[in-house]
Amino acid sequence: MTDYKTATPDTKTKEKINQDVDNKVYISRSEVENHADPTSLWLVIKNQVYDLTKFQSRHPGGKVVLRDVGGKDGTEAWRLAGHSPKAIEQMKEYVIGEISPDEKQETEVITYNNKLSEIFPYISGVIFSLFLYFCIMHTDIHLESKSDILGLVLGLLPSVLLILNALPLWLGRVFRVHRIGGLCYLIQYAFSWYYFFTDYNWFKDSFLVWTLLLNGCTQSISAIIEIGHTLNPHDKGEYFGNTPQTISRDFVIENLFYQLIVTFSSLYYYPRYFNAIRSNIFGKAIEIVFVFLPYLVLRPFFPKTSLRNAVKENSTVITEDNRLFTLISTWAIRFILLFGKHYIGYFTNTLRFLGGLSTPEEEKLLQFMMLANAGSVTISVFLHTLKFKNKLSPRVALTIYLMFVYTPVIAIIQLIPRYFAFWKMFIIFTIGLFVNFTPSYIIHSWSVIVAAWFVSYQNGLIPDAHNWIF
């Protein structure tokens, strides 16, 4: 027996609504069509009929969105908008019946358990390995030719494919600002890679550098404002799962912290912005915070999601057939994030702070590294959206994310010989990596000591420290 908790249809329509012996209320699609105005607004979602007349003013996406599908089947629009488990639970209050058996439509979500999805991780791994081999053998990433097919493919193709794959998403009214911003970001990202490979001298001083980073931060903020209130507050590893669940509000807010880190580091590797940051006392204060103390000064203002919890609580978000793949992927991401925090972040930024890694070749490698990082942070939420809306299979979405987060390794491999000159500093930051597993007060104390040491050295207050650093 099905129990529907809703307002009862008005008496004028009761004769057009049938009730079977099990107390299920069946409504014809023609009757739903008669309720398409604000005074009586019905719609169909997955063969269930909803009376949303009184809910219009409270709908997070606005009244217009509901009125556009009033009297119609809104299943596809509902899927494209995305809804949290909490919102889905609230919907039950407005069910007044279901579509007559002879008019029901297939409502199962399309799955991607096909051969392509199964082998895609291996294909992408081969492509990544070939690109890595190419860069190692050529010892640089200086293509510098508009006719070079590799620059064209690496620059434009990935973003174009993502744009085409999500074509219906850009047309929706719900979360419109965030949707349009996301489309703009993918276009900016495509052209940033393209000009980085084919016309670097123009790119490094162009508007693309700062507008891409600005839009990345704007996307994080718009996601918090527009989408955040529709999500479950706390994270249980939904990003790494393959069940149809939305990511948490904590994950979205935390993403802004990483956007800020990426934005600073990216600008820090361009001479134009590096000099601007150091031109006044306010910029120098920002420099010290982002180079040495981001996890002490900024991190407490953002929620913290844990990959450890994603593994521990994955029974609710991961099905058995994807458990091994997700477990391996999660550990791979944990490793690169830990490596990135202490070596791509602390160690590399400190070298830059002390005047190292400042040749044109080194700066280009650093910029390549951060361009890849910018994509991994901003596109991570977009990839989850494509997974949630069944545009990409969970394996494909997570594999693409892995490729983004591991692409900086291509630059790191080429920078390793340059790191050899700073082996003592490398040891210092390796100690910091192990300190990361100690209580928070030890971690924070270590950060302050390291910051004080290097800032004092850079300002000539500890001249004898040179032998301890280089």
Q: For residue 160, give the nearest of 187, 137, 197 by alpha carbon.
A: 187
Res 73: pLDDT: 82
Res 320: pLDDT: 67
Res 445: pLDDT: 94
Res 4: pLDDT: 43
**Of the ranges 6-15, 135-144, 227-236, 434-443, the best mean pLDDT one:** 434-443
Q: How confident is the model at residue 414 (pLDDT cuts 50, 70, 90)?
A: confident
Domains and CATH numbers, the chain: 11-103 (3.10.120.10), 115-469 (no CATH)
Share of the chain above pLDDT 70, in %: 74
Q: How confident is the model at residue 83 (pLDDT cuts 50, 70, 90)?
A: low
Residue 19 has pLDDT above 60, yes or no: no
Higher pLDDT, 336 or 159: 336
CA distances from 423 to 59, 72, 192, 426 (A): 58, 67, 33, 5
Give the Cα separation of 97 and 105 in Å (integer).
15
Res 109: pLDDT: 43
Res 284: pLDDT: 92
Check if the beta carbon of residue 258 is closer than 8 Å to that of residue 303.
no
**pLDDT tens, position by position, 277-289:** 999 999 999 999 9
Q: How confident is the model at residue 297 (pLDDT cuts 50, 70, 90)?
A: very high
**pLDDT tens, position by position, 32-63:** 888 888 888 888 888 889 888 888 777 766 67
Rg of the chain on CA atoms, in Å = 26
Res 311: pLDDT: 58
Residue 451 has pLDDT above 80, yes or no: yes
Enumerate residues 6+ apart whose C-beta is below 8 A from 280: none
**Of the ranges 25-39, 416-430, 440-454, the best mean pLDDT one:** 440-454
Residue 7 has pLDDT above 90, yes or no: no
Check if the beta carbon of residue 348 is closer than 8 Å to that of residue 366.
yes
CA distances from 246 to 84, 87, 279, 383, 432 (A): 6, 11, 43, 12, 35
pTM over 0.85: no
Q: What is the mean pLDDT of the chain?
A: 78
Res 289: pLDDT: 95
Residue 114 has pLDDT above 90, yes or no: no
Res 175: pLDDT: 76
The kind and range of the H/E element at 41 are strand 40-45
118-127, 178-187, 323-332, 399-408: least confident range: 118-127
Q: For residue 350, give the nearest of 408, 288, 412 by alpha carbon.
A: 288
Show the tokens assigned to 214: 């600005």
Res 310: pLDDT: 61
For the residues 192-200, what does the mean pLDDT come to?
Answer: 85
Give the Cα separation of 185 and 47 in Å (integer).
36
Amino acid at 228: G
Res 288: pLDDT: 94
Res 137: pLDDT: 63
